[in-house]
Amino acid sequence: MDEFKVLQVKKSVFADNDRRAEALRQTLKKHRVFLLNLMSSPGAGKTTLLSRTIETLGNQLKIGVMEADIDSDVDARTIESFGAKVIQLHTGGMCHLDADMTRQGLEALGTDDLELAILENVGNLVCPAEFDTGAVKNAMILSVPEGDDKPLKYPLMFSVCDLVLINLFDVLPYFDFDMKKCVTNIRLRNPKAKIIPVCARTGEGIDLWCDWLCSEISAWRGQ
Amino acid sequence: MHELGILNALVHIIEGIVRDENLTEVEKIVIEVGELSGVVPRYIEECYPAAVYKTFMEKTALELIVVPGIVKCRGCGLVFNAAANDLHCPGCSGQDLEILGGNDMIVSEIVCR
Ligand SMILES: Nc1nc2c(ncn2[C@@H]2O[C@H](COP(=O)(O)OP(=O)(O)OP(=O)(O)O)[C@@H](O)[C@H]2O)c(=O)[nH]1
Ligand SMILES: [Mg+2]
Ligand SMILES: [Zn+2]
């Protein structure tokens, strides 16, 4: 039998996925489908925010949603009840979606008649940040009860996001959440991120979030 | 177990190399984990046996090398080790830093035949 040899590889674990993500972005560009990747910790308000978003933008944009829960279709049914096209992605216990799973999800969703596709990523602040999904923009929700120091603890997540929504703003009086400190902490990780406080429950700030989304979509279309 | 997903990606990469290079056995893999990669080396070690369970890598040993996270202060230009200085510039205590290295996870080499 052959002797053991040492192969120099020097290959990034994330490189294959990065390549696939870039290819997916190109394809979506050709089909003029804007893909947004929405991330957060579990329960920060992704589904509630998306429901509000469909309410607000549903009659001006054709929206489709991919729900990536590990093992349930509760969120998908909620989104469906708001009248958007939706599919449930089965992540098979995975804690994030990569570009390939996203591509398969988009195929299953069907993008022919879509202008905006939103991916509700799996609720966690670690892996989704490592894997480029092929989205045009990344957004995340930080909810007030999670604390203003989250950007320090999960630097990568905050550095890959173009937008940070601070949700559950209605409960601010009950938590020692310092908005100023939070903004400073986000800025340290990402000087360019846009920050919008929202309350997905009452709808406060949703107009600002929808404005951001619409202007990103038209800027991207014009490129 | 967030590191499990990353390890699955790793197994796929090794799989590709084994195919491309016509290898029959992978004795050991050497992985470099950057301190600023967001990947926790200890979790990688803990999840590794589960990730390779019942794969062709079940008997493959894992060697992890932690690569220091090196940053440059955008305020004063000083280059320093991020973790050792708690993400603060030792020159001007600024926190606006540009990452120069140690933010990736790399398959460095594999011992095989
Ligand atoms: N008070 C208050 N509650 C909210 C707000 N937004 C969401 N919630 C509640 O928080 C809970 C979780 O919200 P979801 O929208 O399901 O959160 P999610 O991020 O989709 O959760 P997972 O998909 O399980 O990760 C629900 O009970 C919501 O009604 C808010 O702005 N204020
Ligand atoms: Mg949800
Ligand atoms: Zn400095």
ipTM attached to this prediction: 0.81
CA A75–ligand 2 middle distance (angstroms):
5
Domain range spanning residue A70?
17-206
A5 in a structural domain: no
Q: What kind and span of H or E run contains A38?
A: strand A34-40
User: How many angstroms from the chain centroid is the CA of residue A125?
Assistant: 11
pLDDT tens over chain B, length 113 residues: 567 778 888 998 999 999 999 999 999 999 999 988 878 888 899 889 988 999 999 999 999 999 999 999 999 999 999 988 888 899 998 888 888 999 889 999 999 99
Pick the CATH number of B3-112 from 3.30.70.890, 3.30.2320.80, 3.40.1280.10, 1.10.3720.10: 3.30.2320.80
Residue with CA closest to ligand 1 atom 7: A45
Q: For residue range A136-158, list pLDDT tens digits in order.
A: 999 999 999 999 999 988 888 99
Q: Which atom of ligand 1 is nearest to the CA of A41?
A: 25
Pocket of ligand 1 (CB under 6 A): A 40, 42-48, 75, 123, 167-168, 170-171, 199-201
CATH number of A62's domain: 3.40.50.300
For residue B76 the two structure tokens come to: 């004063």
Q: For residue range B49-60, list pLDDT tens digits in order.
A: 988 999 999 999
How many distinct structural domains can be found in chain A?
Answer: 1
Q: Determine contact, residues A179/A148, Cβ cutoff 8 Å.
A: yes
Q: B51-59 long-range CB contacts below 8 Å, 24 or more apart?
A: B51/B4, B51/B7, B51/B8, B51/B10, B51/B11, B52/B7, B52/B11, B55/B11, B56/B15, B56/B18, B56/B26, B57/B11, B57/B14, B57/B26, B57/B29, B59/B27
For chain B, domain boundaries: 3-112
A5, A10, A11, A13, best to mutate vs chain B, most B CBs in 10 Å:
A13
